[in-house]
Amino acid sequence: MRWKRTIQLLDVHAEGEIGKVAIGGVPKIPGNTVAEQLHWLNTDPKGHELRRFLCLEPRGAPIGSVNLLLPAKHPDADAAFIILQPDQAHASSGSNSICVTTALLESGIVEMQEPETIVTLETAAGLVKATATCRDGRCEKVKLTMVPSFVHELDVEIDTQQWGRIKADICYGGVFYALVDVGQIGLRIEKSNAAALVQAGMVLKEQVNRSIEVVHPEIAAISGVAYVMFRDLEADGTVRTCTTMWPGRADRSPCGTGSSANLAALHARGKARVGDVFKSRSIIGSEFEVGLLAETTVAGRPAVIPTITGRGFTFGLSQVALDPFDPHPGGFALTDVWGPLAGEI
C-alpha cells in the first residue's frame, strides 16, 4: 500500500476520557519551544491539516483527543506533548497527561521502575511532574503535579437570553476555563443531561470569549477560554463536574485542568488551603483526587500548585493512514454525531 502518511497510535483513556497517543510517524513540528510549536499548529495551514487528519472523520471521532508525542525541549523533561482536538491544539490537560504517562511507561518508551516511576512531561504550559505507581509491568495510577493555576476574575456576569444573568469564574488551570455553577441553567450533572449541558456550554463559551479577553501573562500562545466547566457540590463534599468541549461533547473524566482551575477559585475564596485534598467526580461517575500542594505566584498574582491523581488504561494499538487518492484528505464532520456546531469546522 502506497500511503502518503502513517501515524501509529496507542489507545488510552483516563477515567473514561480517551487520549490516544501518537507514538510513531509524528512529523517534525517547527518551533524552538513547545509553546511555539503549539502556536504553529494553531496558525499554520500545515498544522491545521495535521490536526484535521487525526481528529476528524474518517480517521477520527467526536470523542477524545490525540496527543502528539514530541522530543523534549527542556533538559529536565522525558518527553513533550501537545493535545489535538477538533477545534485547535491545546496546551495542557490532566487526563491527557495521565494517558501520555501510561503510554510512555507501558510501551517501554520510558523505562518503568517499580514501585514508582517519575516522568517529567513538557507542555506548552510548562513542566508537569507525573509520579506513576507501577506494579507487574502496569501503570496503576498517576499523580500529576500540575502547572500553577490562578484566578483571572471571579463572579463575571454574563447576560444570556436563555438563562438571564449567569455568573462565572474565569480561571486558569493549564488552559482557561469559565467555571459555572450548574444550577444557574436549571440542570443537574447527570448522563441524561449531557446533550443539554453541552449545548449550554457552547453558547456560554461563545458569549464569554466575545466579551472577555484572556491571555496568559507569561505565555502568549495560551489565550481565550477553551472550555466551560459546569460544577456542583455533592452532599459528601465531592465536586461534580462536566466540561463541555467544542463542537459538542462532554469530557468523560473529571477534567484535570478544569479541576485545577476550580481549585484556584476555591483557594481565592478561602475554601481551600495547602494540604487539602478534594474529590472531583465526572458525569459518568469516575473520580480524580485533587490536592493543593503549594501556594505560588504567576506574574505577581496569587496562584496554587494543584495535584491530580487518576488512572489510565490502554485499550488498543492502531495505525492511521492517508491514501493519496482519498477525496477527503482534510477530514470532515457532520452535525448528526458532532453536534450543531460541526458545520463550522
For the annotated catalytic residues, the residue numbers are 93, 255
Strands (E), the chain: 5-14, 17-24, 65-70, 79-84, 89-90, 116-123, 126-135, 138-145, 149-160, 164-172, 176-181, 225-233, 239-245, 249-250, 277-281, 287-298, 301-310, 312-322
HEC per residue, 29-41: CCCCCHHHHHHHH
Cell 494553531 belongs to 42
Q: How far apart are CA 207 and CA 244, in angstroms?
A: 14
Neighbours of 193 (CB within 10 A): 18
* Residues 122, 31 contacting (CB under 8 angstroms): no
Q: For residue 262, give the nearest of 283, 279, 245 by alpha carbon.
A: 279
* Residues 267, 292 contacting (CB under 8 angstroms): yes
Which amino acid appears at position 98 of this protein?
I
